[in-house]
Chain A
């Protein structure tokens, strides 16, 4: 396995645990650093369940990734793009943006590194698509958790949450499809971010202050 193959394979097994991946990582410091960084983001996202504040390193990683992809611009001083951290369910607000950042970063990174080789070979394999990575596997998110929480907090609205969850998941799938078809389309990537934003909002509404 070479560097290109390893990075493409990360879209399926992002922690580098497969035999061929491990063999390559032993001999390649650059790929090892990439996998370590991805592991850190993924692990930190899960740890957000228990943490009151994510470490500055996590915040920096997310911000840098989003800025590099042009998905966020300079923030207005009066409002942070990132969710607040004041509540018990703050981790849920963080988890989806983190998942989005990881997905987009992996997808674009793989695509950027593989594109020249693809052009040279002309018979290149398809560009790795971010949706091959499981959101839940990365961020510890689970739609069932959301529905369970909504059922406990507000049984009368469970059907509405279920319906909206289905719609927003479709939004994400469609947005991913457009990104895959048009990897250079900045608007498509923005649309994907907006889709994740919508899902993050759904978690927030289900689990935060607007419910008793």
Chain B
């Protein structure tokens, strides 16, 4: 390496370092703390940037916000037992300069509502209602119990993991939806073109309805699953790797590779599972490991 090259590398590194420091110095950290009562409500509207919510100890809401420029500010408000957080874009703010990342601690029994256009939305270890809405936002929800979980996205992928006794409703235009160990009295996914992947045992005595217009639907269940499963694709194919006790009386044809309807496991404990697609494939698989 010549002396001239080394000189250029050093100058480049210094320039890059200066730019990085400049960017970091434009960031501002802000913390907010709110004392709330039981079953508080927390609402966050953050057009650009991520929101992560985890449980706090005690009846307190702690908000840690990282603002990426002075083109955005955080409006916060405590109204009764409800905390409202809003990222407020100032004139000249855009998706980059208007970005705010939040890490929020809430009481585990709080109900949360999160909105973001492009950031990621994450909630975990709560037992209050969870409502997440975002256009391209990535949604990740895990370890929720005895609560409603409602998710709406345009094309952001949705992953919901380990939800027990949940009332789960997911609406997605084109995002992929993955449910892993999600059970409850009602689990419903509606998608226009995104695929739906369910991994779990369908609980007991719940209603599971997975619908996609053109996306594929795949359900992977253990052999011990008890469920009454009907699958139907108007123009797609259906595949069933698990032997089902066929229904003796069905109201739609089930013998042409586009539909099946049958029962697996114990009928007294079985959930109702409805898999529907217009042109996507539907596949009921048996989980091979674990």
- Where the two chains meet, the residues of A that have a C-beta atom closer than 8 Å to any C-beta of B are 76, 78-79, 154, 156-157, 160-161, 163-164, 167-168, 170-171, 174-175, 178, 187, 191, 194-195, 197-198, 201-202, 204-206, 209-212
Q: Pick the residue among A168, A191, A209, A212 that contacts B173 (CB under 8 A).
A: A168
The yes or no answer to B89 lying at the interface (CB within 8 A) is yes
The yes or no answer to B95 lying at the interface (CB within 8 A) is yes
Per DSSP, chain B at the interface is loop
Contact A210 B213 (CB under 8 A): no
Q: Pick the residue among B115, B129, B173 that contacts A164 (CB under 8 A).
A: B173
User: How many chain B residues touch A (Cβ–Cβ < 8 Å)?
Assistant: 37
Q: Pick the residue among A78, A175, A198 that contacts B278 (CB under 8 A).
A: A175
Residues of A within 8 A of B148 (CB): 78-79
Contact A167 B117 (CB under 8 A): no
Q: Which residue of A lies closest to B215 (CB)?
A: A167
Q: Contacts A164-B155, A211-B47 given; indicate if A195 touches B173 (C-beta within 8 A).
A: no
The yes or no answer to B116 lying at the interface (CB within 8 A) is yes
The yes or no answer to B133 lying at the interface (CB within 8 A) is yes
Contact A187 B135 (CB under 8 A): no
Residues of B within 8 A of A154 (CB): 117, 135
Q: CA of A195 to CA of B153 in the docked complex: distance in angstroms?
A: 15
Residues of A within 8 A of B193 (CB): 164, 167
Per DSSP, chain A at the interface is helix
- Where the two chains meet, the residues of B that have a C-beta atom closer than 8 Å to any C-beta of A are 45, 47-48, 89, 93, 95, 98, 115-117, 129, 133-137, 148, 150, 152-155, 167, 171, 173-174, 190, 192-193, 211, 213-214, 232, 234, 276, 278-279
Residues of A within 8 A of B89 (CB): 212
Contact A160 B192 (CB under 8 A): no
Q: Contacts A168-B173, A171-B213, A212-B47 given; indicate if A198 touches B95 (C-beta within 8 A).
A: no
Q: Pick the residue among B152, B167, B213 that contacts A174 (CB under 8 A).
A: B213
Contact A168 B234 (CB under 8 A): no
